[in-house]
Amino acid sequence: MTPLHDPALHSFASDNYSGAHPEVIQALADANGGHVASYGADPYTARFSELVEQHFGAGSAVYPVLTGTGANVAALQALVPRWGAVICASTSHIYTDEGGAPERLGGLKLLSVPTPDGKLTPDLIDRQAYGWGDQQRPQPLAVSITQTTEMGTAYSVSEIRAITQHAHSLGMTVHLDGARIANAAASTGATLQQMTRDAGVDAVSFGGTKNGLLFGESVVSLSDAGLEGITYIRKMDAQLPSKMRFVSAQFVALLEGDLWLRSAQHANALALRVRDALVDLPGVTITQAVEANAVFVVLPKPIIETVRAEHRFYDWNRETGEVRLMCSFDTTTDDVDSLVASIRRELGVLS
């Protein structure tokens, strides 16, 4: 097939724009050929399960799925009964970017809380953690946090532990949307186990697509009691891959060595390069701490469309001129320097 795009073109719109890491493509090729059992009864899924226990702790169980939305919905359905509600940040992906799937498909009420940096705290959780026993109110039975947050910030292990201890004391479970958990680990220096199982998290949506996978995500159960009904929920939610070996093989490529961490460290480092190059430019304001692979920045409105035409990125707040610049495992220093040069040119700043 003739390529229908320019493989040399990189953007700052999303880490979902990137292709798959060459080591992941090789893993798919290695897993191809011949016949193996379907629906997870294959050696690649068995190996993935072993690696999850190594990285998340003994007793952790993994359930590969197709999409991040599917992982979040299935995990929350397994944690929360039909009458339950989930407390989350108002910027969280489950609240703003999943087409209402947790509520429409999962039947779960989301109770959102505004946060300045995408992070929940015990005090913020308490704004929605009330009304147990009130038949007129959805029952707050879980908290969902995102690591890293949609604002590019990362929870420390102590911050996660404070949330889980508070939630558990109120009879709630804790779900962690880990679409970019690798970037959080690279930023904080914590292991996957330290920021999840050891910190008291009950279930994780473990992401791979934003960190070099071609497709596929997974649900990781960290509770010794397991996730109730997740085996059946995954199928009901149309998230059970028949050729599961191809999802699992990609995660094996990530986790057997340090590819998951290497890729995240690279993306984070390039985001810091963007921040450092922009922070002192006139009319430019960095709005959030750069703790992973995202840079949130206000640019002068007159230059945004011209720069975007050369280096695609998304608006975050059109009113203020705030945009989001995302770096990926395959972002290069040349990509960053070209973006910065465009911004400096439009600002009239001499190199």
For 111-137, the pLDDT digits (tens) are 999 999 999 999 999 999 999 999 999
Q: How many CB atoms lie within 10 A of CB 334?
A: 9
- Tell me, rounded to whole angstroms, the distance of Cα 38 from its chain centroid: 27
Query: Is the pLDDT score of 224 beyond 80?
Result: no
pLDDT at 226: 80
Q: Are residues 237 and 316 in the same domain?
A: no
Query: Domain containing 274: what range?
Result: 259-347
The mean per-residue pLDDT over the stretch 257-279 comes to: 97
Is residue 118 within 8 Å of residue 153, measured between CB atoms? yes
Of 256, 275, 308, the residue at which a domain comes to its end is: 256
Residue 289 within any structural domain of the chain:
yes
**Torsion (CA) 110, 111, 116, 121 in degrees, nearest 10:** -110
The mean per-residue pLDDT over the stretch 165-181 comes to: 98
Residue 16 within any structural domain of the chain:
no
Q: Are residues 246 and 265 in the same domain?
A: no
Q: Are residues 264 and 252 in the same domain?
A: no
3-state class (DSSP) for residue 153: coil
Residue 220 within any structural domain of the chain:
yes
Q: Are residues 145 and 245 in the same domain?
A: yes
Q: Are residues 288 and 187 in the same domain?
A: no
Q: Are residues 145 and 283 in the same domain?
A: no
Q: How many CB atoms lie within 10 A of CB 181?
A: 28
pLDDT at 157: 98
Number of domains making up the chain:
2
Residue 33 within any structural domain of the chain:
yes
Q: Are residues 300 and 227 in the same domain?
A: no
Residue 264 within any structural domain of the chain:
yes
- pTM confidence score: 0.96
Q: Are residues 161 and 49 in the same domain?
A: yes
For the segment 300-351, what is each residue's pLDDT rounded down to a tens digit? 999 999 999 999 999 999 999 999 999 999 999 999 999 999 999 999 987 6
pLDDT at 272: 98
Residue indicated by tokens 């798959």: 20
Measure the CA–CA gap between 151 and 298, rounded to whole angstroms.
14
Q: Are residues 293 and 203 in the same domain?
A: no
Q: Are residues 201 and 321 in the same domain?
A: no
pLDDT at 350: 73
Q: Are residues 269 and 243 in the same domain?
A: no
- CATH (domain of 309): 3.90.1150.10
Of 256, 277, 296, the residue at which a domain comes to its end is: 256
**Among the listed residues 21, 25, 48, 93, the one whose alpha carbon sits nearest the alpha carbon of residue 266:** 21
Is residue 324 within 8 Å of residue 286, measured between CB atoms? no
The mean per-residue pLDDT over the stretch 246-275 comes to: 98
Residue 320 within any structural domain of the chain:
yes
Of 221, 256, 291, the residue at which a domain comes to its end is: 256
